[in-house]
Amino acid sequence: MEPAPDPERLRLLPELIEHQRVRTTPVKASDFAMPLASPSAGSATAQRLTFDDGTSLFAKLAEQAPPGYLEAEAHGLRWLREANEAVVEPLYADERLLVEPWIEPAEPTRGHAAELGRRLARMHAAGADRFGAPWRGYIGETFMDNGPAGDTWAEWYAAKRIEPYLKPSRDNGALDAADVAAVEALAAKLPDLAGPEEPPARTHGDLWWGNVHWGEDRAWLIDPAAHGGHRETDLANLRLWGGLPMLEAVLAGYAEVSALADGWEERIGLHHLFPLLVHTTLFGRAYRDQLMGTVSHFTKLSY
C-alpha cells in the first residue's frame, strides 16, 4: 500500500484534480492481476491519482451520481472498518469524489484467504442495531432500501431486498407476470426456509469475488453495500459469478471463529435472490433464467 497521504493534500484534492495538478488515469482490468470488479463502478469512474512525488491514490469520480451515492459507500466502509481493518479506508468523500489508498494487486494465497474468513466472522459478530442501515443505500447503479421492515430477517429481506425490484424487472421486460407471482410466492415462504433466526450481522452486502481485492499483505474488502443483514448472505455471495478463489480456505478460516447454522449451504440460493433481482433490474432478461432457476429450486416448480 502507498504511504499515508498528507491530510492537507487530501483536503485540497478536489481543487488539485480540477486544475490538473494531479494526474488522473482510468483504472483498467489489465492494470490488475485479478479482473477489476468494475472500471465504471456504478455511476462513478475508477481513477488512479498520481502525484508529482510518484505516490498514488485510488479514486471514484461521479459527475452525475444520485444524491448520497459516494457518501453511502464511505459510510459503509467506515462502519465495516470499525470491526475489520482489512476493509479499505475511505480517505476523503464528498458528492462527487471518493478517495481510498492505492493497493497494488497480488496473487491470492491460502493464508490470506483463511485470514479473510476469520476477519469476516469477527466483522459479522460485531452486529448492527437493526436490519438495514441509517443511510441511503445503493448497489451498483441502482437503489437499495435500507429502511426497517418486520421483526425478522426473512420479513425484512422479502420487503426490502426482493419486493422493490419486481416492478422495475417487470417494467423492463426481464420478468413476466407469472415470474413475478412465483418470486412473490417464494418470498412469502421465507420465514419457513430461512433457517434459525439470528440477530443482525454487520455485512458487506455485495460480497461477490470482484469486491475482494488481493494485496501483498492481505485480502481487502472494497465496494460494499453495507447494512445490518444475515451473515450467510456474504458467504453465499462469494459463490456468485464463478466464485472466489480459495473459497474453501475462506470458509475454513470462518469456521475457526464462528460456527454457521446447520443447513446454511442449502440456503445459499435464497441469498442470491437479491443480487439476481438487482441484475434483472439493471440488465434485463439476460438474468431471468438464473433467477427463475433459483426460484424453481425452492418451490419445486418448473419455469
Q: Write out pLDDT tens, residues 15-32.
A: 666 545 777 788 865 454
More reliable by pLDDT, 61 or 147 = 147
Q: Which of 203, 207, 198, 180 is nearest to 295 (CA)?
A: 180
pLDDT at 77 > cutoff 90: yes
6-10, 45-49, 262-266: lowest mean pLDDT where? 6-10
Label residue 8 by pLDDT band (50, 70, 90).
Answer: low
Question: Whole-angstrom Cα distance, residue 231 to residue 119?
Answer: 13
Q: What are phi and psi of 92, to 5 degrees?
A: -155, 140
59-68, 82-91, 160-169: lowest mean pLDDT where? 59-68
Domains by residue range for the chain, with CATH = 7-101 (3.30.200.20), 110-299 (3.90.1200.10)
pLDDT at 75 > cutoff 70: yes
65-69, 117-121, 167-171, 273-277: lowest mean pLDDT where? 65-69
Task: Give residue 20's pLDDT.
Answer: 59
Task: Give residue 200's pLDDT.
Answer: 98
Q: What are phi and psi of 290, to 5 degrees?
A: -65, -40
- Work out the angle between the directed axes of helices 268-283 and 177-188 (0-180°, nearest 10): 150
pLDDT at 14 > cutoff 80: no
Burial letters for 54-72: b for 16+ Cβ neighbours within 10 Å, e otherwise?
Answer: eebbbbbbbeebeeebbbb
Question: Whole-angstrom Cα distance, residue 285 to residue 174?
Answer: 4
pLDDT at 74 > cutoff 60: yes
Label residue 35 by pLDDT band (50, 70, 90).
Answer: very low
Task: Give residue 191's pLDDT.
Answer: 95
Question: Whole-angstrom Cα distance, residue 104 to residue 215?
Answer: 6
The SS3 of residue 193 is helix
**Would the pTM count as exceeding 0.95?**
no
- The mean predicted confidence, pLDDT, of the chain is 89
